[in-house]
Chains A and B, each alone.
Chain A
Amino acid sequence: MGYYARVLDFTCMIEIKFLSVRRRAALFILTGLHLLAGCATTPFVVPSVEQAPFIGRAIVETQQTVRVAAAVPDAEETRNLIGVDLYAKGIQPVWLQVTNLGEASVYAALHSIDDEYFSPLEVAWKFRGWFSKQGRADMERWFYENQMPRRIPPGETRSGFVFTHIAKGSKAFNFDAYSSGRSFNFTFVVPMPGFFADYMEVDFEAVYDEDEIRVVDLNGLREALITYPCCSTNESGEAGDPINVVVVAQERALGLALLRAEWEETPANDPETAVARTHRHLGRRPDGTFHKARPDGSERKELRLWLAPLLLGEQKVWVGQVSYELQRATGKQGFKNYRIDPEIDNARLYLLQNFWYTQSLAALGYVRGVPPATFDAPSRNFADARYFTDGKRVVLFLSETPVAMDETDVLPWERMVVE
Chain B
Amino acid sequence: MIEPSMCPPRVWRPVLILCCALALLAGPAISQELNSSKNGRVPPPNDRLHETVFDEVRVTTAVPSAAETQQIFGANLYRRNIQPVWVQIENLSNETLWFLPLGLDEQYFTPIETIYRRAKRNAALDFESVRDIYDSSMRLRLDAGSVRSGYIFSRVDEGTKSFNVDVVGDKGKHYLMTFFVQVPGLRIDHYKVAWNKLYTDNDFKDVDRDGLIAGLEALPCCATDESGEENADPLNIALVGHPRDLYYALIRAGWDETEIVYRTSVLKTIASSLMGKEYRYSPVSSLYVFGRAQDAAFQKARANIDQRNHLRLWMTPMRYEGKPVWIGQISRDIGVRLTWKTITTHKIDPNVDETREYLLEDFAYAQSLDKVGYVKGVGAAPYDKPRSNLTGDPYFTDGLRVVLFVSAEPSDISEIQVLDLGYAP
- A-side residues, CB < 8 A to B, are 11-18, 21, 24-25, 28, 31-32, 105, 107, 109-112, 115-116, 119-122, 125-126, 141, 144, 147, 150-151, 165, 176, 178-183, 294-299, 324, 333, 336-337, 340-343, 346, 349-350, 353-354, 356-357, 375, 378, 386, 405-410, 412, 415-419
With an 8 A cutoff between CB atoms, is B172 at the interface?
yes
> Which of B21-29, B42-50, B133-141, B319-327 binds A?
B133-141
Instruction: Collect the chain B residues with CB atoms within 8 Å of residue A116's CB.
Output: 302-303, 307
With an 8 A cutoff between CB atoms, is B173 at the interface?
yes
The answer to whether A13 and B81 touch across the interface, beta carbons within 8 angstroms, is: no
Question: Given A15-B305, A144-B383, A183-B413, do A121 and B112 touch, yes or no (CB 8 Å)?
Answer: no
Instruction: Collect the chain B residues with CB atoms within 8 Å of residue A122's CB.
Output: 307, 332, 334-335, 349
User: B101's contact among A353, A378, A406, by CB below 8 Å, is which?
Assistant: A353
With an 8 A cutoff between CB atoms, is B201 at the interface?
no
Question: Given A12-B336, A183-B412, A342-B112, do A410 and B172 touch, yes or no (CB 8 Å)?
Answer: yes
Interface residue tally for chain B (C-beta within 8 Å): 73
> Please, how many angstroms separate the alpha-carbon atoms of A417 and B96 in the complex?
10
Instruction: Collect the chain A residues with CB atoms within 8 Å of residue B117's CB.
Output: 297
A-B contact pairs, 29 of them (CB 8 A): A12-B335, A13-B305, A13-B335, A13-B336, A15-B306, A16-B344, A17-B274, A24-B343, A25-B343, A31-B338, A105-B424, A109-B365, A115-B365, A116-B302, A122-B334, A150-B357, A179-B418, A180-B417, A294-B107, A340-B112, A340-B125, A342-B130, A343-B110, A353-B100, A356-B102, A357-B103, A415-B141, A416-B98, A419-B139
User: A17's contact among B111, B113, B273, B413, by CB below 8 Å, is which?
Assistant: B273
User: A119's contact among B107, B303, B351, by CB below 8 Å, is which?
Assistant: B351
The answer to whether A120 and B415 touch across the interface, beta carbons within 8 angstroms, is: no
Question: Given A120-B351, A125-B347, do A342 and B127 touch, yes or no (CB 8 Å)?
Answer: yes
User: A12's contact among B338, B357, B416, by CB below 8 Å, is which?
Assistant: B338
The answer to whether B112 and A343 touch across the interface, beta carbons within 8 angstroms, is: yes
> Please, how many angstroms separate the alpha-carbon atoms of A12 and B364 in the complex?
34
> Please, how many angstroms separate the alpha-carbon atoms of A350 and B102 in the complex?
7
The answer to whether A119 and B332 touch across the interface, beta carbons within 8 angstroms, is: yes
The answer to whether A180 and B416 touch across the interface, beta carbons within 8 angstroms, is: yes
Smallest CB–CB gap between B280 and chain A, Å? 12
**From residue 249 to 280 of chain B, which have CB atoms closer than 8 A to chain A?**
273-274, 276
With an 8 A cutoff between CB atoms, is B191 at the interface?
no
The answer to whether B124 and A15 touch across the interface, beta carbons within 8 angstroms, is: no
User: B134's contact among A16, A296, A343, A416, by CB below 8 Å, is which?
Assistant: A343
The answer to whether A12 and B334 touch across the interface, beta carbons within 8 angstroms, is: no
Smallest CB–CB gap between B72 and chain A, Å? 21
Instruction: Collect the chain B residues with CB atoms within 8 Å of residue A340's CB.
Output: 112-113, 116, 125
User: A151's contact among B305, B332, B425, by CB below 8 Å, is which?
Assistant: B425
With an 8 A cutoff between CB atoms, is B71 at the interface?
no
The answer to whether B276 and A14 touch across the interface, beta carbons within 8 angstroms, is: yes
Instruction: Collect the chain A residues with CB atoms within 8 Å of residue B383's CB.
Output: 141, 144
Question: Given A15-B276, A119-B332, A337-B124, do A416 and B172 touch, yes or no (CB 8 Å)?
Answer: no
> Please, how many angstroms separate the alpha-carbon atoms of A112 and B412 in the complex?
13
Using CB atoms, name the residue of chain A closest to B102. A353
Smallest CB–CB gap between B153 and chain A, Å? 11
Using CB atoms, name the residue of chain A closest to B124. A337
Known: A15-B336, A110-B357, A408-B172. 19 other contacts (CB 8 A): A11-B338, A12-B338, A13-B335, A15-B5, A15-B276, A16-B343, A16-B344, A105-B424, A111-B364, A119-B332, A121-B350, A141-B383, A180-B418, A180-B419, A343-B134, A346-B112, A386-B127, A406-B173, A419-B141
Using CB atoms, name the residue of chain B closest to A110. B361
Instruction: Collect the chain B residues with CB atoms within 8 Å of residue A357's CB.
Output: 102-103, 106
Instruction: Collect the chain B residues with CB atoms within 8 Å of residue A408's CB.
Output: 172
The answer to whether B418 and A107 touch across the interface, beta carbons within 8 angstroms, is: yes
Using CB atoms, name the residue of chain A closest to B371. A180
The answer to whether B113 and A298 touch across the interface, beta carbons within 8 angstroms, is: no
User: B343's contact among A28, A126, A350, A415, by CB below 8 Å, is which?
Assistant: A28
> Please, how many angstroms separate the alpha-carbon atoms of A119 and B351 in the complex?
9
The answer to whether A182 and B338 touch across the interface, beta carbons within 8 angstroms, is: no
The answer to whether B141 and A333 touch across the interface, beta carbons within 8 angstroms, is: no
The answer to whether B344 and A12 touch across the interface, beta carbons within 8 angstroms, is: yes
The answer to whether A120 and B96 touch across the interface, beta carbons within 8 angstroms, is: no
Question: Given A13-B306, A181-B416, A297-B117, do A151 and B134 touch, yes or no (CB 8 Å)?
Answer: no
The answer to whether A151 and B424 touch across the interface, beta carbons within 8 angstroms, is: yes
Instruction: Collect the chain A residues with CB atoms within 8 Å of residue B107's CB.
Output: 294-296
The answer to whether A15 and B8 touch across the interface, beta carbons within 8 angstroms, is: yes
With an 8 A cutoff between CB atoms, is B414 at the interface?
yes
With an 8 A cutoff between CB atoms, is B226 at the interface?
no
> Please, how many angstroms separate the alpha-carbon atoms of A121 and B349 in the complex?
6
Using CB atoms, name the residue of chain A closest to B332. A119
Instruction: Collect the chain A residues with CB atoms within 8 Å of residue B111's CB.
Output: 343
Question: Given A24-B343, A178-B413, do A297 and B81 touch, yes or no (CB 8 Å)?
Answer: yes
Instruction: Collect the chain A residues with CB atoms within 8 Å of residue B343's CB.
Output: 16, 21, 24-25, 28
Smallest CB–CB gap between B415 and chain A, Å? 7
User: B365's contact among A14, A111, A295, by CB below 8 Å, is which?
Assistant: A111
